[in-house]
């Protein structure tokens, strides 16, 4: 079938709206009509050329929501008409990783996903016979996409696509990092670096679990008001701090953060996030994605003296199990998504969404089809 998609032809190039051929879903796959898709910083990261797994041409996009329109052979868990959220972290419930219950990083299709193809090693997308890569197993910047059955979460049919598409990455990543990865407890002091689409969800989850101080750190002063609305108790602009930021944060939190979160993708900030943690027990969670070749460093003494460095992918969430619950939380008013979706525009304007992100003017832009 012919579908409309935003195609990334090369690093640093604007996306191009094209008519793309999409082949039918094969065994174990589903065809989904994407109704809305969010633009996450990770899409910009891959488009910039910094992603060692970045492939071109490709259809980017990994946050989305839509409706199953067709299923391939052997598909049992969803049917045409079901509302779903695509999962870049699938949940097969059979691999060693899923069965361990120690991680959400299902590895059933990770290798082919990283090569921009479906599990059988081929792409469903092409233009004029030329293969177009899938991205993160999802490719949500297209009005139809094909996904493995294990990479869709079935959600309730009354949830609005334009809002819950954001649960496909940013919301779940931020909320899950607090609840699943760090397991922040009531009364904890939390420092959040980067108050964008992910960081503000860390803030709202920290408030949900009853954190005491919730310190937000961002170089964009425009982030302060919204972050306070979401639960931030103290705002720190590093450009206005005289002297060492780490010492300032340790002093502000009276000994250091119980938990810190890096939601930027800056390896220098990752070090600050670790080192502002409390001696003996502070836990720092890396969420941000750093470019090819970049490395983190600290004095081993920081870890010897009890600080813990962790990472979190998709908020530690098991998508098919946890995503429907987060949709319920939104529908029940327990989490606020509406105020974080600052821009909604047709797919034709998707390059504007990237511009808004780079200028620091949006939290989340959502494109519709």
Q: At what angle do helices 41-48 and 350-358 cross, to 10 degrees?
A: 100
Give the length of the chain. Answer: 369
The single-letter DSSP state of residue 162 is H
Stretch that binds ligand AHE, among 49-57, 117-125, 245-253, 325-333 (CB under 6 A): 49-57
Question: Which residues have a Cβ under 8 Å from the Cβ of 93 and sit 6 or more positions away?
Answer: 99, 150, 320
- Contact residue for Zn ion among 6, 8, 40, 98 (CB under 5 A): 40
For this structure, is 62 an active site residue? Answer: yes
CB of 245 to ligand NAD, least distance (A): 9
**Interacting residues with ligand AHE between 261 and 290 (CB under 6 A):** 289
Distance of CA 28 to the CA centre of its chain: 25
Distance separating alpha carbons of residues 181 and 104, to the nearest angstrom = 10
42 binds Zn ion (CB under 5 A): yes
Q: Omega before 174 cis (within 30°)?
A: no
From the list 33, 70, 92, 343, the catalytic residue is 92
Nearest to 191 by CA among 179, 180, 203: 203
98 binds ligand AHE (CB under 6 A): no
For this structure, is 277 an active site residue? Answer: no
- Contact residue for ligand AHE among 252, 274, 313, 366 (CB under 6 A): 313
Output 42 or 312, the one with its CB closest to Zn ion.
42
From the list 29, 63, 149, 162, the catalytic residue is 63
In Å, the largest CA–CA distance within the chain is 63
Distance of CA 317 to the CA centre of its chain: 11
Question: What proportions of the chain, in percent to the nearest 5, are helix, strand and coil?
Answer: 30, 25, 45
Stretch that binds ligand AHE, among 22-30, 50-58, 267-275, 339-347 (CB under 6 A): 50-58
Stretch that binds Zn ion, among 19-27, 39-47, 244-252, 265-273 (CB under 5 A): 39-47
For this structure, is 83 an active site residue? Answer: no
Buried b (16+ CB within 10 A) or exposed e, 233-247: bbbbeeeeeeeebbe
Output 188 or 198, the one with its CB closest to ligand AHE.
198
Helix boundaries (H) for 178-292 = 199-208, 224-229, 245-252, 267-275
169 binds ligand AHE (CB under 6 A): yes
For this structure, is 276 an active site residue? Answer: no
From the list 42, 46, 181, 253, the catalytic residue is 42
For this structure, is 63 an active site residue? Answer: yes
Output 67 or 289, the one with its CB closest to ligand NAD.
289
Q: Which residues bind ligand NAD (CB under 6 A)?
A: 40-42, 45, 169-170, 173, 193-199, 217-220, 223, 238, 263-266, 269, 287-289, 312-314, 357, 360
Distance separating alpha carbons of residues 199 and 276, to the nearest angstrom = 17
Distance separating alpha carbons of residues 149 and 37, to the nearest angstrom = 19
- Contact residue for ligand AHE among 7, 42, 181, 206 (CB under 6 A): 42
40 binds ligand AHE (CB under 6 A): yes
For this structure, is 223 an active site residue? Answer: no
Distance of CA 247 to the CA centre of its chain: 30
Distance separating alpha carbons of residues 19 and 16, to the nearest angstrom = 10
For this structure, is 263 an active site residue? Answer: no
Q: Pairing mode, if any, of strands 29-39 and 364-368?
A: antiparallel
Output 63 or 82, the one with its CB closest to Zn ion.
63
Output 82 or 262, the one with its CB closest to ligand NAD.
262
Output 71 or 179, the one with its CB closest to ligand NAD.
179
- Contact residue for ligand AHE among 18, 44, 48, 51 (CB under 6 A): 51
Q: CA distances (Å), 140 to each of 36, 120, 125, 180, 347, in order? A: 8, 20, 12, 26, 11
CB of 42 to ligand NAD, least distance (A): 4
CB of 172 to ligand NAD, least distance (A): 8
53 binds ligand AHE (CB under 6 A): yes
Burial environment of residue 273 by CB neighbours within 10 A (0 to 12, 13 to 18, 19 or more):
buried
Question: What amino acid positions are annotated as catalytic residues?
Answer: 40-42, 62-63, 92, 95, 98, 106, 110, 169, 364
Residue numbers of the site for ligand AHE (CB under 6 A)? 40, 42, 51-53, 89, 105, 110, 169, 289, 313-314
């Amino acid at each position: 079938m012919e579908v409309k998609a935003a195609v990334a032809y090369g690093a640093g190039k604007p996306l191009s709206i094209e008519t793309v051929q999409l082949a039918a879903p094969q065994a174990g796959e589903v065809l989904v009509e994407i109704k809305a898709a969010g633009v996450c910083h990770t899409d910009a990261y891959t488009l910039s050329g910094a992603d060692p797994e970045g492939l071109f041409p490709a259809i980017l996009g990994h946050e989305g929501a839509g409706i199953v329109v067709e299923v391939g052979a052997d598909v049992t868990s969803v049917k045409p008409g079901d509302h779903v959220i695509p999962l870049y972290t699938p949940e097969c419930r059979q691999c060693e990783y899923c069965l361990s219950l120690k991680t959400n990083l299902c590895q059933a299709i990770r290798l082919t996903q990283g090569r921009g193809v479906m599990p059988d090693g081929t792409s469903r997308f092409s233009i004029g016979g030329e293969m177009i890569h899938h991205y993160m197993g999802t490719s949500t910047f297209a009005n139809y996409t094909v996904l493995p059955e294990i990479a869709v979460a079935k959600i309730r049919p009354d949830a609005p696509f334009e809002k819950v598409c954001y649960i496909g990455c940013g919301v779940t990543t931020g909320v899950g990092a607090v609840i699943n990865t760090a397991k922040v407890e009531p009364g904890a002091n939390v420092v959040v670096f980067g108050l964008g689409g992910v960081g503000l969800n860390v803030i709202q989850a920290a408030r949900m679990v009853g954190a005491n101080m919730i310190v937000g750190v961002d170089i964009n002063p425009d982030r302060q008001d919204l972050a306070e609305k979401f639960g931030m108790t103290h705002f720190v602009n590093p450009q206005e701090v005289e002297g060492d930021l780490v010492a300032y944060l340790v002093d502000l939190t009276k000994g250091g953060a119980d938990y810190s979160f890096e939601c930027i993708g800056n390896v220098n900030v990752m070090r600050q996030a670790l080192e502002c943690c409390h001696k003996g027990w502070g836990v720092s969670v890396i969420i941000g994605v750093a470019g090819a070749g970049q490395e983190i460093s600290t004095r081993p003494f920081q870890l010897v003296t009890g600080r813990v460095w962790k990472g979190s992918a998709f908020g530690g969430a098991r998508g098919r199990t946890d995503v429907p619950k987060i949709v319920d939380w939104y529908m029940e008013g327990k989490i606020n998504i509406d105020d974080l979706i600052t821009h909604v525009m047709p797919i034709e304007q998707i390059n504007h969404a990237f511009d808004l992100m780079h200028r620091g003017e949006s939290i989340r832009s959502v494109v519709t089809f």
